[in-house]
Structure 1
Amino acid sequence: MRSQARSEIALGACSILFWMMQIWAGSTVGRQPGWPTWTGIAVGFALIAWGVRRYRANIDPRS
C-alpha cells in the first residue's frame, strides 16, 4: 500500500513537471498557458497530497 502511495506522489510530480515544461515551451513561442495547463498542475498537486495522505495513513504507529 505504501508503494502505491509513493507511485501516486511520483505521478503527481511528473504531471507538474510535464505541465511546467509545457508553460516553458509555450513561452518561448509567445503562447499563454490555458486552462488545460492549470488543470494539469492542479491535478498534480492533488495527486501528491492524496499520496502523502495515504502514505502517512499506512505508517504503523506501533513501530
Structure 2
Amino acid sequence: RHPSVKWAQRSDKVYITVELPDAKDVKHKLEAEGKFLFNATRDNVAYEVDLELFDKIDVE
C-alpha cells in the first residue's frame, strides 16, 4: 500500500510529508541521486513510498 504523500520545495529545501498516523517500524532514506524511500507498517499492513525527485539533491 501507498500512504498519502505531500511534497513541496524551495530553491534551497525539499519538504516531504508522509501521512501515516500511528506508523510502526518506520524506515526512510533520502538518496543524493534524487530518490526518497519510506517503509512502515500500521495495523499489520505494510506501506511504502519510492519517490523519484526531479534532480540530484544535497542530503547534508
Give TM-score scaled by structure 1 length: 0.23
Which structure is higher in helix share? 1
The structure that has the greater radius of gyration is 1
Q: Which has the higher strand share?
A: 2
Higher relative contact order (CA 8 A, sep 6+): 1
TM-score by length of 2: 0.24
